[in-house]
């Protein structure tokens, strides 16, 4: 092979790899990205049932019902609420009145079937998406629940 | 008093670093030897000053001096000593101090051990290294000063996040930082070489040991972090594609590519320009990782904008060094001669493929990490890019890389013989086929692709051994001859063997535990028995206890396998005193087969407890594989050190080195 051909192989290989990677990335961004919504977002915009989303808000006081390993509770942003069903073990920091992010799908009746529940948050018991979303909606949070100031950082 | 002393040492270190930037660089241009010589004592004293500052802060932690704001915010008097000490870097300000300390450590190491470097190159390297130190020392002093006092001093501190109160905190961050801050040396060498306008094989020979050392520590640091997350977070997962994890994984990927391209440059004088670019990019990714973790951009893009001091400062550092480095590269790269001609099928060709795939994979991780931040910043739309994204982008790129991995080291330089290599790899391919068939026979539940993944891992492991076997002519020459050859193989060959073998093990562990994990979630009452992956797990009862600074509720499980008792697992829930926060501790029984992993959840009204039980097959292969990679790096490094002073035949190493 001449020098020119070798360079051609090199450049061709590079372009081909990048093209494959680009296609993979575009498909993955289309299919596997999960959007975050609050109950009010869902009430306003409507989210098709079966689409994977993250639902964030506060666990409504008095709404938690345990039936064996299945837990039912309501997620609220104080304006709207969505009933959630989850089977599994809840994270340590899950509690009523505190922020939570559930990932899963809405069924046809407007119930949310969660397959994971996160209560990862800062020292003020508020996941940052939830705090930001609630602030945008003008919901008054206690002074301790401001979204800035994450202390639960991993070094 | 001691804290003021530390504060003073920190500021003094900044001044020393400024001197270390200016004088050696000017001296190298003016050919003034005295000015260049300032670099070494400056680098060493900068390190000593930062060590003093670090010890001063640690002293404040150990003595619980709550008049120091940083200690009051992150420590507590009842915390065990090890967490008081490790707690120094369990927070933003302290971890930045560790960052600059390690930066200075590498600078001092070059000053002390780089005596065989040409004096102008060494002066310039140390000058560039000091410029990074100036930037981060300014950042530390102006925005993240750990030595600020608090008046009046509170009676006790706020405590350390309980999730961090684990022995791993003592080791994981220092190793991780040694790794990704260590790439600063490769960056400094690249910038110094661009300023000199000359680069050759000898350059790669100097850069490689430093890069290898940094890579080793980053490997083990990431691996420890993964292990820590596995046993501490109670989800049984070992990697979450979390931005914080990606922040250290991206420099690792680029650094791995750099190690391999520097090899081509050292042996064949090819890929020079590319290697320099990669050195700049690798450290730029370290800086980006620091930006992602330290700027507050993760907490929220908005809070970043609200309190911009830290974020904008690191962003400025990132832009200055990455942009400056790339601009210098653009100006100077064309002047560098390219060398070393090779066929596509050759050792060089395979290493180019390695680089292409690793760098592309790095780019996919970068997109997945930055896209959600960029989208939120631009449109306010909040999304999460989770494991499915990385599985379907990063995953496929690893397949050709792993397929080519055993082939590369067997190809000859310049022009390789693929058919001959495949012949020598027949054993590895056969082993892979057996592994695929065996996996299908045993694990019929998992996804259909999984056995091929296991086969791929086995192929990489056996390929590494096949390469060694063919080099020592195992079974082709008399045994005595093979032993003689095995003894004469350079240590770097054993390093490669181990590192590649470790990659194969890692792959087997990842695929096995991802595809064949068994998971049970149920409510158990004392006396009940659960059967998991051949284990009988009997819920024996409850017990409460107290640790040094927490209350702990244990659930006792008696574990037996085919009738024989194995022991008792005690998963628990802890409630810490300060801050009052619960954590879950898993009960893990480890074996070669895999881990039995138990976690308890909420209590039920009827006296039962929610229990999560996992069986993670071969999960230990993940950390064992990375440990073997780390050891491989170490063995290779011990070889390099022996050869480092030997003048190289091909490199233009015959530059006059003045007597010192």
* Cβ pair B344:A9 closer than 8 A: yes
DSSP B38: T
- Most confident stretch, A78-87, A123-132, B621-630, B646-655: B621-630
Choosing among B243, B368, B602, B608, which should be mutated to test the A contact, i.e. which has the most A CBs within 10 A?
A: B602
pLDDT of A13 strictly over 50: yes
Q: Which residue has the higher pLDDT, B301 or B352?
A: B352
Q: Looking at CA atoms only, how far is residue B233 from chain A in angstroms?
A: 9
Region of B439 on the Ramachandran plot (φ > 0 left; ψ -120 to 50 alpha; else beta) = alpha
Residues 6+ apart with CB under 8 A from B627: B220, B223, B502
pLDDT of A146 strictly over 60: no
Nearest to B463 by CA among B492, B416, B501, B433: B501
DSSP A63: -
pLDDT of B655 strictly over 70: no
Choosing among B96, B261, B306, B389, which should be mutated to test the A contact, i.e. which has the most A CBs within 10 A?
A: B389
Q: Which residue has the higher pLDDT, B318 or B443?
A: B318
pLDDT score, position B454: 96
Option in A21, A33, A154 nearest B364 (CB): A21
For residues B396 and B512, give the distance between their C-alpha atoms in angstroms, rounded to a whole number.
17
Q: Which residues of B touch A3 (CB under 8 A)?
A: 341
Instruction: Categorize the per-residue pLDDT at B295 as very low, low, confident or very high, splitting at 50, 70 and 90.
Output: confident
Q: Say what angle helices A3-31 and B387-404 make with each other, to 10 degrees.
A: 150
Which chain B residue has its CA at the smallest distance from A66's CA?
B604
Beta bridge partners of B614: B519, B597
Instruction: Categorize the per-residue pLDDT at A130 as very low, low, confident or very high, splitting at 50, 70 and 90.
Output: low
Q: Looking at CA atoms only, how far is residue B2 from chain A in angstroms?
A: 25
Option in B361, B383, B579 nearest A33 (CB): B383
Q: How do residues B50-86 score in pLDDT, each as one tens digit?
A: 999 999 999 999 999 999 999 999 999 999 999 999 9
Q: Which residue has the higher pLDDT, B578 or B574?
A: B574
Average pLDDT of the segment spanning B195-210:
90
Across chain A, mean pLDDT equals 78
Question: What percent of chain B clears pLDDT 70, i.e. is strictly above it?
Answer: 95
Instruction: Categorize the per-residue pLDDT at B443 as very low, low, confident or very high, splitting at 50, 70 and 90.
Output: confident
The interface residues of chain B toward chain A in range 307-336, judged by CB-CB distance below 8 A, are 307
Q: How do residues B132-180 score in pLDDT, each as one tens digit?
A: 999 999 999 999 999 999 988 999 998 888 888 999 999 999 999 999 9
pLDDT of B653 strictly over 80: no
Dihedral over alpha carbons A75, A77, A79, A85 (to 10 degrees): -10
Q: Is B604 exposed, middle or buried (0-12, 13-18, 19+ CB in 10 A)?
A: middle
Q: How many inter-chain contacts (A to B, CB under 8 Å) are there?
A: 150
Option in B384, B396, B521 nearest A89 (CB): B521
* Cβ pair B356:A14 closer than 8 A: yes
Q: With a cut of 0.85, is the ipTM above it?
A: no
**Which two structure tokens, joined as six digits, stand for A134?**
């609630």
Residue B416 contacts A where some CB pair is shorter than 8 Å: no
DSSP string, B137-175: HHHHHHH--TT-B-SSPPSS-----GGG-STHHHHHHHH
pLDDT of B647 strictly over 80: no
Average pLDDT of the segment spanning A14-27:
92
Three-state DSSP state, B233: coil
Nearest to B234 by CA among B624, B619, B611, B618: B611
pLDDT score, position B652: 40
> CA B498, B250, B343 angle in degrees (round to 5)?
60
Q: Which residues of A touch B612 (CB under 8 A)?
A: 88-89
Across chain B, mean pLDDT equals 91
pLDDT of B112 strictly over 90: yes
For residues A32 and B368, give the distance between their C-alpha atoms in angstroms, rounded to a whole number.
11
Q: Which residue has the higher pLDDT, B283 or B522?
A: B283
């Amino acid at each position: 092979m001449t020098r020119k051909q070798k360079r051609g192989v090199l450049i061709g290989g590079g372009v081909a790899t990048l093209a494959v990677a680009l296609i993979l990335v575009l498909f993955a961004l289309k299919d596997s990205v999960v959007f975050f919504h609050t109950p009010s977002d869902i009430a306003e915009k409507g989210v098709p049932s079966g689409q994977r989303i993250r639902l964030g808000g506060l666990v409504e006081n008095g709404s938690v019902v345990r039936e064996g390993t299945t837990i039912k509770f309501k997620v609220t942003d104080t304006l709207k609420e969505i009933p959630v069903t989850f089977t599994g073990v809840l994270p340590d920091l899950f509690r009523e009145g505190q922020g939570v992010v559930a990932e899963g799908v809405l069924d046809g009746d407007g119930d949310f079937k969660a397959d994971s529940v996160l209560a990862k948050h800062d020292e003020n018991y508020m996941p940052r998406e939830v705090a930001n979303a609630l602030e945008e909606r003008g919901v008054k949070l206690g002074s301790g629940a401001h979204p800035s100031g994450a202390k639960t950082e991993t070094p | 008093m001691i804290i003021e002393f530390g504060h003073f040492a920190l500021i003094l270190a900044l001044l020393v670093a400024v001197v270390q930037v200016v004088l050696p660089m000017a001296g190298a241009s003016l050919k003034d030897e005295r000015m260049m010589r300032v670099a070494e004592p400056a680098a060493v004293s900068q390190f000593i000053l930062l060590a003093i500052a670090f010890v001063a802060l640690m002293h404040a932690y150990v003595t619980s001096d709550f008049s120091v704001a940083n200690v009051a915010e992150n420590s507590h008097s009842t915390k065990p000593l090890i967490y008081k000490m490790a707690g120094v870097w369990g927070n933003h300000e302290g971890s930045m101090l560790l960052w600059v300390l390690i930066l200075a450590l590498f600078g001092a190491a070059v000053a002390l051990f780089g005596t065989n470097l040409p004096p102008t190159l060494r002066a310039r390297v140390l000058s560039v290294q000091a410029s990074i130190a100036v930037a981060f020392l300014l950042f530390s002093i102006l925005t993240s000063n750990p030595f600020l006092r608090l008046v009046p001093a509170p009676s006790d501190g706020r405590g350390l996040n309980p999730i961090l109160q684990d022995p791993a905190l003592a080791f994981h961050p220092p190793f991780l930082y040694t790794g990704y801050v260590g790439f600063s040396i490769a960056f400094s060498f690249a910038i110094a070489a661009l300023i000199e306008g000359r680069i050759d094989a000898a350059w790669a020979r100097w850069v490689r040991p430093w890069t290898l050392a940094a890579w080793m520590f980053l490997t083990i640091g990431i691996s420890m972090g993964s292990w820590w997350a596995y046993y501490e977070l109670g989800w049984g997962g070992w990697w979450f594609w979390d931005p914080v994890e990606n922040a250290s994984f991206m420099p690792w990927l680029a650094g791995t590519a750099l190690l391999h391209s520097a090899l081509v440059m050292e042996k064949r004088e090819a890929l020079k320009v590319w290697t320099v670019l990669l050195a700049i990019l690798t450290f730029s990714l370290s800086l980006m990782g620091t930006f992602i973790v330290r700027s507050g951009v993760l907490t929220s893009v908005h809070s970043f904008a609200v309190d911009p001091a830290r974020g904008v400062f690191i962003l400025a550092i990132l832009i200055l060094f990455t942009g400056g480095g790339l601009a210098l590269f653009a100006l100077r790269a064309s002047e560098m001669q390219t060398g070393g001609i090779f066929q596509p099928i050759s050792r060089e060709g395979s290493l180019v493929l390695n680089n292409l795939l690793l760098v592309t994979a790095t780019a996919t991780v970068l997109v997945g990490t930055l896209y959600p931040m960029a989208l939120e910043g631009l449109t306010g739309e909040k999304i999460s890019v989770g494991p499915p994204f990385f599985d379907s982008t990063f995953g496929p790129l690893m397949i050709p890389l792993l397929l080519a991995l055993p082939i590369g080291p067997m190809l000859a330089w310049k022009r390789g013989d693929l058919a001959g290599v495949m012949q020598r790899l027949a054993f590895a391919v056969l082993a892979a086929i057996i592994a695929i068939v065996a996996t299908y026979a045993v694990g019929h539940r998992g996804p259909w692709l999984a056995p091929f993944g296991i086969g791929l891992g086995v192929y990489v492991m056996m390929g590494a051994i096949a390469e060694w076997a063919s080099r020592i002519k195992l079974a082709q020459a008399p045994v005595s001859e093979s032993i003689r050859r095995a003894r004469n193989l350079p240590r770097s060959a054993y390093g490669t063997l181990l590192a590649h073998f470790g990659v194969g093990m890692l792959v087997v562990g990842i695929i096995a535990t991802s595809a064949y994990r068994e998971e049970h979630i149920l409510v158990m009452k004392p006396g009940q028995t659960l059967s998991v992956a051949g284990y009988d797990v009997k819920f024996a009862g409850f017990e409460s206890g107290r640790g040094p600074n927490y209350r702990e509720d244990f659930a006792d499980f008696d574990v037996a396998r085919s009738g024989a008792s194995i022991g008792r697992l005690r998963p628990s829930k802890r409630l810490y005193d300060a801050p009052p926060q619960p954590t879950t501790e898993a009960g893990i029984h480890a074996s070669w087969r895999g881990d039995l992993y138990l976690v308890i959840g909420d209590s039920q009204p009827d006296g039962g407890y929610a229990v999560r039980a996992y069986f993670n097959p071969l999960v230990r292969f993940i950390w064992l594989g990375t440990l073997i990679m780390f050891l491989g790096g170490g063995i290779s490094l011990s070889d390099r050190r022996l050869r480092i002073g030997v003048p190289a035949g091909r490199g233009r190493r015959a530059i006059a080195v003045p007597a010192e």
